[in-house]
Chains A and B, each alone.
Chain A
Amino acid sequence: MTTAAPPLIRQRAETSAARASQVWKVYGTGEAQVVALRGVDVELERGRFTAIMGPSGSGKSTLMHCLAGLDSVSRGQVFVGDTEVTGLNDAGLTRLRREKIGFIFQQFNLLPTLTAQENILLPLAIAGRKPDQQWFQTVIDTVGLGDRLGHRPNQLSGGQQQRVACARALVSRPEVVFADEPTGNLDSRSGAEVLGFLRRSVTEYGQTIVMVTHDAVAASYADRVIFLADGQIVAELTGPTPERVLDTLKSLDRTAQPGTEL
């Protein structure tokens, strides 16, 4: 697939960790048809922390699922690194997840039968790869779980569980980590710990992170915020603060009022 790609795309692919090109996502047919994404073009730069925001039904989660290969697109192309995701079969997607993608979900991130350490190393174990001990130690130190590695998820607090999930996403050094409302279920202090950790992994280790959130404070940890409304990218901020994010959301709400389908 990559060998067949035109030089222009290849060149651009090298600079972006993930990229969507004219992506449409349509659910259902006829009367019941719902358009979740309308020709979205977006590039997520390597080594940056990008937040995707938007009101409910704006398509922000759909966009992330499509970028991560969890959902198929109706039209358009998606790349992770230099791999075209669109068109991959299940085996290809499995390989992509093993090699290039890390996930952090809002909840239920960990297998209850495994200890924290086993959960962190699960992607490597599944892929049959040996962990890089030094990197593993770095990740553990960063998330501050050193004394909790032998615990099972039900012996950990919600914040600790999410930190384990973060460590798991990072330990295989994926091309990009997708985080779906990672602090949605946490109190503000635990949420801040997790976000601080994600921020540091970008700043200190150059990890690429894409995070969907509806929380302006969470978005302010990112380098760049993309705003979606009605399936389209409608605004963008770099170097966000909570206030600027909130202002942008408010202005979106106003413009979205009349004639919005969703």
Chain B
Amino acid sequence: MIKASLRGLLQRKLRLSLAVFAIVLSVAFLAGSLVLSDTLNARFTALFSTINQNVSVVVQAKDPQAVEPARLTDAQLRALSEVDGVRAVSPDVSAQGVIPFRATDGEPVSADAALGFGVDGNDDPLGLVELREGRWPTAEGEVAITAHTAELAKVKRGEQLKVYLPVLNEPRTFTVVGVAGYSGGRDSLAGEVVVMFQQSFAQQTFYGATGLYGGASFAAEEGVSDDALKQRIAAQLPDGFKALTGQESSEEQSAQVGVLFDVFKYILIGFAVVAGVVGIFLIFNTFNIIVAQRTRELALLRALGAGWGQVAGSVLLEALVVSLVGATVGLAAGIGVAAAGEAAITSEVALPSAGLVVAPLTVILAYLLGVVVTLVAAFVPAVRASSVPPVAAMRDVVRPDKSLTALSIVGAVFALPGVGLVLFGAFADLGGTAFLVLLGGAVLVFIGALLLSPLLARPIVRGLGALVGRGSAGNLGVRNAARNPRRTAVTAAAIIIGVTVIGMTATVVQSFKTSLTDIMGDNIGVEVMIQASVTAAPDGRQGFNPKALEQVRAIPGVKEAAAWHFDALGVSVAGQPQAFGIFATDVGQAARMFPIDATDGTIRTLAAQELVLDDNIAETLKLKAGDRTPVVIGGVTRDYTVVGVYRATPLIQGILVGEPAVADFPGPLAFQGFVSLNDGVDAAPVVTQIETIMKDYPGVQVGDRQSYVDQATASYDFLLIAVQILLLVALVIALLGILNTLVLSIVERTRELGLVRAVGLSRGGLVWMVTVESVLITVFGVFLGLALGVGLGAAFTKALMTLEFATVIAIPWLELAQYLLAAVVAGVLAAVIPARMAARLNVLDAISYE
């Protein structure tokens, strides 16, 4: 029995190779994701192990992100360095966001991985950093830089270097007195930018006083283990500090950095899921076809005494072999994907090599995914195979197409409540829960639609066919596509899934963009926007100094310039944490620049301990004008008075406080700036002048109104692109599925093909007939997918409108047309091989084909 099914496997290898490909794709994305993330982690571990190579124990603040992190004093540091077993100490005086400007063009060299250190004029006691030329800085106006930094900033020893200082929030100019490198002759460890200052200057600048340290690294004496030293140091630690061995510190740091690359991991896992789901349909179809073609063989086995379990088992065994082959190839391909991904990432960030890491878990998950997907897909075909009666060996047992009624009723049972939920979620004012309701409804509608798709296939294909199926060859293609609605629907399922997701995303994104553009265009008096780096920590520690706006106000033609501060860390109002943070600005000025309608109280410039908020939040927090409520900003709790409530718009929403509150913010920098101009003033030259002013603040962008819209929608565009790539993956698999189905159709209909050739259809006509069938299957999938996607997208947008995140439902016709076009191209491509097969048939052979 096993031998028979394995032999059969080899004979069907072409068809099965399509199923294998679907598994390969899915497994490759999963394995690629896991290997890439493990490999990068290994690389980071190697990096931090290098940094900590001579370090036995690290002492650091428990909460380095705190507004006022703990600092070591001179006396505390001295006490720790006198702990028995300490051979050497390297105190840490450092800050992030110390960004040098290029000497040649004045542009900041890097917005991230830019560090500043304070050094005490002596060589690094732990031997990591080595002076290459010149000397260490010993005066306030001096710095030493690493060789990599010197190269990026295009500066040499003895030259001037402008450096942005994060706590001072402004740049200063220094003289480069030394160039350093790392042990082993490296210019940088991971492409980082490093500027070293005189220690007391760094302490004063970064920590606000001399004699303070952020932490320290300790080397143990010969014969003292890292753990032992950690115990001894921990016993003497001041409050707010923790001690880690060098090893522990490396692991903690690499885990923190590894999180940054998780987005790649999740995108690849998303691909794996889509490829897996779509692959199930392809594999399902493949095994159905195989079982149908093997009916006689299976019946013979049954006639010879095989039980139904053995027959079903033989199909499942075949599926198992297919899945193992697919998973093996997929694993290999995934390792390839990971290697490519690693190469791409490490070309941006220089990291020490650690080789590709293929963890046992990766291998297990890869095989598990392949096997589960395949067996799930092959289950129904296996059951079908087991129900072949032995008599089918003797003659053709006509197994009529099962009626679609039962399937359609089940579909309707899913779809109708789904539609109800979607409508309820979209139109009832449910607040945030609307999205849960919508999501549940969308899943039901989607499942229902897939089940109903065979019922819809015939009318839709015929309707579409009336447009393309001109001429008798085209007409025959249309009829063939409508002939077996189940097969057409299953074949199109991959496309339906992919296109629904993309249609939905595209509709929401388009609606959001159109809404924003409408609002920006109509109502606001703001022509120029200033925006901190999107990746900046939203707590006032990155951005621009509001004092710089005085220079902006001096530009001819500028009417007003407003600074907006933003804090999203640890803010709470009325005892409720505010994940969307709090804004501080001159609210009276904001009301002149933006449409802010009071629904309660007044909207005016706020004094200390006064706030206004939008109607949604007011309702949630049960606040009205005149109420007093506790507000926590930067760890400080104060009682605020609610001065007014305004109507939320997609542009302005949230809790606003006055400029005096900025004193409580973790940092004094503004997150956004808005500039209005006098009538008739051209924005472009003003943008250029403001850019010059903002050049001192790395990461700050200046743009006109449209660029602000573009920026606000950029993250949605990114989402859209990610989903489009997903669509591409789904389309590739769908293309294989269509190819599969068409080849089957051609084999099944060989005599028909011979017949139409005999009565005068040309080869070209035959090619056209097959192409029309293929294109109709794809277009049917796109049509249904777009209808579902746009419908669901519109429902989600409606819910967003209720929450004031959007004002209109906009349908992205251009994108939709592109997807349709892509489907037509895919359909034509899928038809190439089957059409050639059909055209090559010899007429006489085809007619006498059994």
A residues adjacent to B (C-beta < 8 A): 65, 70-71, 90-91, 94-95, 97-99, 102-103, 105, 108-114, 122-123, 125-128, 168
Q: State in angstroms the CA–CA spacing of A122 and B759 once bound together.
A: 8
Count, chain B residues at interface, CB 8 A:
23
Binds A, one of B287-295, B474-482, B554-562, B637-645: B474-482
Task: Please give the distance in Å from A80's CB to the nearest CB on chain B.
Answer: 13
Q: A70-B844, A126-B472 are in contact. List 17 more A-B contacts (CB 8 A).
A: A71-B844, A94-B760, A94-B761, A94-B762, A94-B763, A95-B760, A97-B758, A103-B758, A108-B752, A108-B755, A110-B755, A111-B476, A113-B480, A122-B756, A122-B759, A123-B760, A168-B759
Residues of B within 8 A of A95 (CB): 760
A65 touches B844 (CB 8 A): yes
B507-519: CB near A (< 8 Å → 1, else 0) gives: 0000000000000
Task: Please give the distance in Å from B171's CB to the nearest CB on chain A.
Answer: 77
Interface residues of B in 730-779 (CB under 8 A from A): 751-752, 755-763, 765
Residues of A within 8 A of B475 (CB): 125
Q: State in angstroms the CA–CA spacing of A206 and B590 once bound together.
A: 96
Task: Please give the distance in Å from B486's CB to the nearest CB on chain A.
Answer: 16
Q: Does B843 contact A (CB under 8 A)?
A: yes
20 contacts between A and B (CB under 8 A): A70-B844, A70-B847, A91-B762, A97-B757, A98-B759, A99-B760, A102-B759, A105-B758, A108-B847, A110-B755, A111-B755, A113-B476, A122-B756, A122-B759, A123-B759, A126-B472, A126-B760, A126-B765, A128-B471, A168-B759
A125 touches B844 (CB 8 A): no
The chain A residue with its CB closest to the CB of B762 is A94
Q: Does B473 contact A (CB under 8 A)?
A: yes
Residues of A within 8 A of B13 (CB): none
Q: Does B78 contact A (CB under 8 A)?
A: no
The chain A residue with its CB closest to the CB of B765 is A126
Q: State in angstroms the CA–CA spacing of A172 and B849 once bound together.
A: 26
A70 touches B756 (CB 8 A): no
Q: Does B483 contact A (CB under 8 A)?
A: yes
Interface residues of B in 446-487 (CB under 8 A from A): 471-473, 475-476, 479-480, 483
Residues of B within 8 A of A113 (CB): 476, 479-480, 483
Q: State in angstroms the CA–CA spacing of A125 and B473 once bound together.
A: 9
Listed residue (B756, B760, B843) with the most chain A CB atoms within 10 angstroms of its CB: B760
Task: Please give the distance in Å from A122's CB to the nearest CB on chain B.
Answer: 6
Q: State in angstroms the CA–CA spacing of A168 and B756 once bound together.
A: 12
The chain B residue with its CB closest to the CB of A94 is B762
Residues of B within 8 A of A122 (CB): 472, 756, 759
Residues of B within 8 A of A99 (CB): 760
Q: State in angstroms the CA–CA spacing of A99 and B765 once bound together.
A: 16
Task: Please give the distance in Å from A117's CB to the nearest CB on chain B.
Answer: 14
Of the residues A65, A103, A114, A126, contact of B761 by C-beta under 8 Å? A126
Residues of A within 8 A of B762 (CB): 90-91, 94
Residues of B within 8 A of A168 (CB): 759
Of the residues B479, B751, B761, B763, contact of A108 by C-beta under 8 Å? B751
Residues of A within 8 A of B765 (CB): 126
A111 touches B756 (CB 8 A): yes
Residues of A within 8 A of B473 (CB): 126
Q: Which 4 A-B pairs have the closest CB atoms?
A: A98-B760, A125-B472, A113-B479, A94-B762
Residues of B within 8 A of A91 (CB): 762-763
Q: State in angstroms the CA–CA spacing of A65 and B848 once bound together.
A: 12
Contact A90/B760 with A109-B755, A113-B483, A128-B471 known, Cβ cut-off 8 Å: no
Residues of A within 8 A of B483 (CB): 113
The chain B residue with its CB closest to the CB of A123 is B759
A114 touches B479 (CB 8 A): yes
Q: DSSP class of B's interface residues: helix, strand, loop or mixed?
A: helix
The chain A residue with its CB closest to the CB of B478 is A113
Q: State in angstroms the CA–CA spacing of A114 and B471 once bound together.
A: 14
Contact A126/B763 with A111-B752, A113-B479 known, Cβ cut-off 8 Å: no
Task: Please give the distance in Å from A32's CB to the nearest CB on chain B.
Answer: 18
A126 touches B843 (CB 8 A): no
Q: State in angstroms the CA–CA spacing of A67 and B599 once bound together.
A: 93
Q: State in angstroms the CA–CA spacing of A112 and B745 once bound together.
A: 14
Q: State in angstroms the CA–CA spacing of A125 and B472 once bound together.
A: 6
Residues of A within 8 A of B847 (CB): 70, 105, 108
Residues of A within 8 A of B756 (CB): 111, 122, 126
The chain A residue with its CB closest to the CB of B763 is A90
Task: Please give the distance in Å from B585's CB to the nearest CB on chain A.
Answer: 70
The chain B residue with its CB closest to the CB of A100 is B760
Of the residues B471, B472, B763, B843, contact of A70 by C-beta under 8 Å? B843
Interface residues of B in 578-630 (CB under 8 A from A): none
Q: State in angstroms the CA–CA spacing of A90 and B385 once bound together.
A: 41
Residues of A within 8 A of B757 (CB): 94, 97
Q: State in angstroms the CA–CA spacing of A128 and B471 once bound together.
A: 8
Q: State in angstroms the CA–CA spacing of A201 and B476 once bound together.
A: 29
Q: State in angstroms the CA–CA spacing of A172 and B243 once bound together.
A: 97
Task: Please give the distance in Å from A108's CB to the nearest CB on chain B.
Answer: 5
Task: Please give the distance in Å from B838's CB to the nearest CB on chain A.
Answer: 13
Q: State in angstroms the CA–CA spacing of A98 and B758 once bound together.
A: 9
Q: State in angstroms the CA–CA spacing of A95 and B757 once bound together.
A: 11
Residues of B within 8 A of A65 (CB): 844
Listed residue (A94, A99, A109) with the most chain B CB atoms within 10 angstroms of its CB: A94
Task: Please give the distance in Å from A165's CB to the nearest CB on chain B.
Answer: 10
The chain B residue with its CB closest to the CB of A69 is B843
A97 touches B844 (CB 8 A): no
B763 touches A103 (CB 8 A): no
Q: State in angstroms the CA–CA spacing of A90 and B751 once bound together.
A: 18
The chain B residue with its CB closest to the CB of A96 is B760
B763 touches A97 (CB 8 A): no
Residues of B within 8 A of A103 (CB): 758-759
The chain A residue with its CB closest to the CB of B751 is A108
B758 touches A70 (CB 8 A): yes
Residues of B within 8 A of A98 (CB): 759-760
Q: State in angstroms the CA–CA spacing of A71 and B846 once bound together.
A: 12
B760 touches A97 (CB 8 A): yes
Q: State in angstroms the CA–CA spacing of A97 and B476 once bound together.
A: 18
Task: Please give the distance in Å from A96's CB to the nearest CB on chain B.
Answer: 9
B480 touches A97 (CB 8 A): no
Task: Please give the distance in Å from B216's CB to the nearest CB on chain A.
Answer: 84
Q: State in angstroms the CA–CA spacing of A217 and B761 once bound together.
A: 34
Q: State in angstroms the CA–CA spacing of A111 and B756 once bound together.
A: 8
Q: State in angstroms the CA–CA spacing of A105 and B300 once bound together.
A: 31
Residues of B within 8 A of A111 (CB): 476, 752, 755-756
B755 touches A126 (CB 8 A): no
Q: State in angstroms the CA–CA spacing of A112 and B752 once bound together.
A: 9
Q: State in angstroms the CA–CA spacing of A97 and B751 once bound together.
A: 17
Q: State in angstroms the CA–CA spacing of A76 and B759 once bound together.
A: 25
Residues of B within 8 A of A110 (CB): 755
B759 touches A126 (CB 8 A): yes
Q: State in angstroms the CA–CA spacing of A79 and B749 once bound together.
A: 31
Q: State in angstroms the CA–CA spacing of A111 and B752 once bound together.
A: 6
Residues of B within 8 A of A127 (CB): 760
Q: State in angstroms the CA–CA spacing of A97 and B755 once bound together.
A: 11
The chain A residue with its CB closest to the CB of B475 is A125
Q: State in angstroms the CA–CA spacing of A113 and B473 once bound together.
A: 13
Residues of A within 8 A of B844 (CB): 65, 70-71
Task: Please give the distance in Å from A70's CB to the nearest CB on chain B.
Answer: 4
The chain A residue with its CB closest to the CB of B483 is A113
Task: Please give the distance in Å from A125's CB to the nearest CB on chain B.
Answer: 4
The chain B residue with its CB closest to the CB of A113 is B479
The chain B residue with its CB closest to the CB of A180 is B847
Residues of A within 8 A of B476 (CB): 111, 113
The chain A residue with its CB closest to the CB of B760 is A98
Listed residue (A91, A98, A113, A127) with the most chain B CB atoms within 10 angstroms of its CB: A113
Task: Please give the distance in Å from A130's CB to the nearest CB on chain B.
Answer: 13
B77-113: CB near A (< 8 Å → 1, else 0) gives: 0000000000000000000000000000000000000
Interface residues of B in 482-500 (CB under 8 A from A): 483
The chain A residue with its CB closest to the CB of B761 is A126
Residues of B within 8 A of A114 (CB): 479
